[in-house]
Each structure stands twice: as C-alpha cells, then as structure tokens.
Amino acid sequence: MRRLLEIGGEQIPVWLAHTGKGYVVHARDRAVPCALTCSQGRGAYVLELEGRSIPLRLAVSETATFIHLYGRAYEIRRTDPADRLVEGGAGAGQDSIVAPMPGVVVSVTVGPGDRVEKGQTLLVIESMKLETTLSAPRDGVVAEVPFAPGEGFGLKDVLARLAPEEE
C-alpha cells in the first residue's frame, strides 16, 4: 500500500508492507523494518528502527502528520496517489498564479477579458505585513481574478488565471 509523503518540500513515495514478522517501510530505495508502540504521555510513541528506540510525539490530521522529534516539530503531508491522479490536467498550473502564502488582496488592476503583457501587474497582495506585486507570467488574456481587494486567501489558492493559450 502506498502513500505519497511531502517532507520539507521533498516528495517521497512510500510503501508499507508486512512480512509476517512485522512491518517494513519502503522509501528512497531502502526497505526498513520498523515498529511503533505507545508510550507514556499523550501522543507519545517509541519507534523501533534499525536497532534504535526513538521516542517521539505524534498527532495525525486528515492530510498531515505532525511529529515532535529530538526537540523539533515536523509536518509531513500525506496524499494517496490515487487521489493525486484525479487532480490531473497536465500543465493546468501554467495559466494560474497560485498564492505563495496566505494573505489579503490589496488591489486588483485587471479584470476578466483584459489583454495583458508579460510582467504587467495583475494584483497586489499583502502577506506577513509586506506587499507583493503579482505580475503576468506571459502575454495573454485574463480569465479570472477570484478575489476582490480586502478579501483574504489561503496558501495555494488561485489568485489570477489567464485564458489558455491558443495554438
């Protein structure tokens, strides 16, 4: 059974298997026998891995696993590869400007149907108390600017979309 994990921006396909004696995790071209057992404290576990007993704290949400390990916290995003195929649509991202971080729209300088040149300002956003200008990635026609000034948006929301290029 597979999962696609994202750790620190790196995509790692992972297989879990059972040998009859215990679990084996296959990732990054290695097969590692391992076991996870509960320990004292909320969310506390001990991971047995390659002869080591590693204490850690762990919490699981719908799409991510949070692990506190050796004094640091890590967020591991989980995807079922079957879900990922559904998103599909090769090259669909190229026409869209996706929010690099959550924030608020400050101003919008174009509207649907407007013809824009590469580099032209589409909208200004504010995240973390700093303004950022988002400009057109190529020449084209604006298809959509979903957020109005003053509206907030989340990470990876589409902030502007250009109409697909005609061949």
Partner 1 sequence: MHPGYGFLAENAAFVRALNAAGITFVGPTEDVIDLMGDKVRARAFVAERGFPVAPAAIEDDDPASFVERARAVGYPLLIKPSAGGGGKGMRVVREDAALEAEIETARREGKRYFGDGRLFVERYIERPRHIEVQVMGDGCGNVVHCWERECSIQRRFQKIIEETPSPALSPEQRTEICETAAGIARAVNYRGAGTVEFIYAPDGAFYFLEMNTRLQVEHPVTEMVTGIDLVAEQLRIAAGGGLSHAQAEIRQTGHAIELRICAEDAFADFRPAIGEVLLVEEPQGAGVRVDSGILEGGKVTTDFDPMLAKLIVHGSDRAGAIARARAAVQGYVILGVTTNTGYLDAILAHPRFLSGDVSTGFLAEEAAVLTARGEDVTDILVAATALSDGRLVRAVDEIPEMHRLMGAWRN
Report 107-126 residues binding partner 1 (CB under 8 A). Answer: none
Report 21-60 residues binding partner 1 (CB under 8 A). Answer: 23-28, 30-32, 34-36, 41-43, 45, 47, 49-50, 54, 56-60
The amino acid present at 126, given as its one-letter code, is E
> Does 4 contact partner 1 by CB under 8 A?
no
Nearest CA to 110 out of 45, 162, 41 is that of: 162
| Min separation Cβ 147 and partner 1, Å | 13
E runs forming strands in the chain: 2-7, 10-18, 23-27, 30-38, 44-49, 52-60, 64-69, 72-79, 96-98, 103-108, 115-116, 121-127, 130-135, 140-144, 152-153, 158-162
Interacting residues with partner 1 (CB under 8 A): 1, 3, 5, 7-10, 12, 14-20, 23-28, 30-32, 34-36, 41-43, 45, 47, 49-50, 54, 56-61, 64-76, 78, 100-103, 106, 127-131, 152, 154-155
